Structure 1
């Protein structure tokens, strides 16, 4: 997660210096929660297995260890992460593609997309950024979100789940370099493609130790909790119709896993939700970011999560209970929102 919250005035459009350059674009085809253990759901789709997510996180750690300690976009560590996740998704039977794009410094990186096809013509997107910062391996931020998506995708595919609406899983590159991957993707969508999207749900830092389950607050019920000097900025955030429904579905899904949820507006401009708000304003959005429930300061700076953007964001920095809850919640959210083919 790229932290830009509370102290930044609300400005939606990306300035030319902050957005992705024109670049090139090519596509290559190709204590755990009980709810996240093996089994099956009421919809008939297998529930995700915590061991699958942990295997993914340990592999991402090894990839970082072999590549200078990080998985930063534009490096071999990131490219190896892309290859690994794509291989797991393909082996599970999902159709995948890689979307290459040029970053602002002229180097190239990529997004990964995978789909479970539906027949309605509508598309539900769920996403997480795959890259880390240079300073560390990024296992919580945001290997946790990426592993959650892959484990849930594998579980849904394992029993041949057939959604009514296509489910598109997105793994964004260059989030830690200014949300460049998701912005490139959204800017490239045609109006008809935006109209197909029934929603975008973002998973970021979903295994934070001592974290609050911060659900994106499209209803803006948490405005009164913000400092007065920024309250007006956050009040102006233009959530699309349908975003409150996403919030309610995701909230209920987390509560069903036993998680105490908190409505949160402060992270919305710091995650891959922001490009959808800016460039696809009719698309409903939702998501979760887990920041420290009781943040402290160090040398005058807030510590938003343990080992945030540091070398110690390793597999030892993962709360497996929170990770399992996120897997169960995403699984429930997808099956409720995407439905089942008749």
Structure 2
């Protein structure tokens, strides 16, 4: 995970993103080594297999050996990174995945992303999981982010062992140069045509999941994906918290920025565990979640086996269940309730709704519900703007329209426009003497 200036702001959750959310698992036994292997309650499709923590730790041992043989790190542009990528690729090739190595340049050095596709499934509905494979130059990066990389790898290998035949297409990724500013994942997303972006139903990110003084944090960027992980941990009777320390600091950010639904798990970096967190999760209050964050001591000794095991099993649970049924529900509501002032006889203003997790284009009967409070509605011109900027006129101004407020529903044929993206309500007051504001508006698919 890259280091950025800290912020105490809590990111607001996005609206539900259109992936099938499995029912919460029944009470689960805690994962080994603490207790026997958990057994999932019946899921929408196949129950996910246990991910043996010993297998995940074996991958971490290999990454440690690679770092030790290559100057003590696995950083971008260093031999240790390429050797790490070759190790992961070899495992996936042998397991029957179709792998692609994507090259880019950053800081004068060649970087590499590794993409692995599991054959089959609907490629128009792709469930994707990823992690960054590089370390910082100061250490081997076993928790940051060997832990996420190893768990995603072992989950992919479990897909092969089980010969899983998901309804959706499965894709796994290992990113380069994350520590330099999410370079690899940005390169991947920026080079995906919009038609391919719309096929990704959701991206799950796993960056630091074995911290030695762990917390159990869940990304809240998408309500549906957040619920998957919360349900899993509720079945373990383990409370979770919303992940804020790493918001925007890892490889989910480029996906989120183009309207793809994102989710993920995190066990904590250099923030300090509070007394309340230690009471519910164990560990040591007043100490960082990972005291070796971005340091030479981030070795295989810097891993909490229980956190690594639980989070690895949670990844498999999410992959198995999200890949099972239909990723696009029959309907979805996306709403913005923030007030936006409309200046009297002034410039147009906009309010944005970010639509995520849909597949293909918007419907021919896209419903637009508008709640605009204004003392003379006849002054107002109202448009819906598609993500590509195309305007759909909802209401014209009229000197004969003397009532207050615009509280109405409109239907728009938006079938030529991609569903995912930033939709805007544009409102302009074109005459003098009356004022108002956008109270709320929503899209129903």
Q: What TM-score, normalized by structure 1, do the two folds share?
A: 0.78
Residue 336 and residue 255 in structure 1: after superposition, are their counterparts in 2 closer, same or farther (change >3 A)?
A: same
Who wins on radius of gyration, i.e. which is larger? Answer: 2
1:50 paired to 2:29: no
Alpha-carbon deviation of 1:35? 7.2
Aligned match of 1:113: 115
Higher strand share: 2
Question: How far did 1:267 drift?
Answer: 1.6
1:215–1:261: 8 Å Cα contact kept in structure 2? yes
Aligned partners of 1:73 and 1:173 also within 8 Å: yes
Query: What's the TM-score once normalised by structure 2's chain length?
Result: 0.61
In the other structure, the counterpart of 1:144 is 147
Which residue does the alignment assign to 1:175? 178
Q: Is the 8 A contact 1:41 1:47 kept in 2?
A: no
Cα distance in 1 for residues equivalent to 2:53 and 2:254: 31
Corresponding residue number in structure 1 for 2:319:
334
Alpha carbons 1:96, 1:114 under 8 Å: kept: yes
User: 1:284 and 1:330 mapped to 2: Cα distance?
Assistant: 16
Contact 1:116/1:162, CA 8 A, preserved across alignment: no
Q: Note the C-alpha offset of 1:74.
A: 0.7
Unaligned stretches of 5+ residues in structure 1? 11-30, 219-242, 297-301
Taking the aligned partners of 1:307 and 1:192, their CA distance within structure 2 comes to: 41
The 3-state SS of whatever aligns with 2:82 is helix
Q: In the superposition, relative to structure 1, how do residues 41 and 130 fare at CA in structure 2: closer, same or farther (>3 Å)?
A: farther
CA distance in 2, matches of 1:158, 1:206: 23
Alignment correspondent of 2:80: 77
Aligned-partner Cα distance in 1 for 2:243–2:263: 11
Match of 2:268 among 283, 286, 291: 291
Shift of the 207–114 alpha-carbon distance from structure 1 to 2, 3 Å rule, reads same
Q: Cα deviation per residue 1:46-84 (whole Å; 9 max; x = unaligned)? A: 432212111100000000000010000111100000000
Paired with 1:8 and 1:261, the residues of 2 have a C-alpha distance of 18
Q: Residue deviations 1:10-52, cap 9 Å, x none?
A: 9xxxxxxxxxxxxxxxxxxxx5365768999961654322121
Aligned-residue RMSD, C-alpha: 2.7
Give how far 1:118 is off: 3.4
Higher relative contact order at CA 8 Å, sep ≥6: structure 1 or structure 2? 1
Count residues with an aligned counterpart: 290
Query: How far 1:290 moved relative to its partner?
Result: 1.4
Give 1:92 deviation, angstroms: 1.8
Which residues of 2 match residues 179-258 of structure 1 at below 5 A?
179-218=182-221, 243-258=222-237
Task: Please give the alpha-carbon distance, in whole angstroms, between the structure 2 residues aligned to 1:146 and 1:40.
Answer: 27
Indicate how the Cα distance of structure 1 residues 92 and 127 shifts in structure 2: closer, same or farther if over 3 A, else same: same
Q: Partners of 2:307 and 2:70 in 1: how far apart?
A: 28
Partner of 1:223: none
SS at match of 1:99: strand
Name 2:405's counterpart in structure 1. Answer: none
Where does residue 322 of structure 1 map in the other structure?
307
> Which residue pairs with 2:101 in the alignment?
98
CA distance in structure 2 between the partners assigned to 1:36 and 1:142 by the alignment: 25
Whole-angstrom CA distance in 2 between matches of 1:256 and 1:2:
31
- How far, CA to CA, are the matches of 2:42 and 2:59 in structure 1? 23
Q: Shift of the alpha carbon at 1:256? A: 3.0
Q: State the distance in 1 between where 2:312 and 2:42 align.
A: 13
* 1:27 aligned partner: none
Q: Secondary structure at the match of 2:215?
A: strand
**Contact 2:148/2:209, CA 8 A, preserved across alignment:** yes
1:103-156 Cα shifts (integer Å, max 9, x gaps): 1x2210101111223332210111100000000000000000000001111112
- Counterpart of 2:398 in structure 1 is none
CA contact (8 A) 1:253 1:330 kept: no
Structure 1 distance, partners of 2:151, 2:324, is 20
Q: Report the equivalent of 1:32.
A: 33
Query: Relative to 1, partners in 2 of residues 1:39 and 1:84: Cα closer, same or farther, differing over 3 Å?
Result: farther
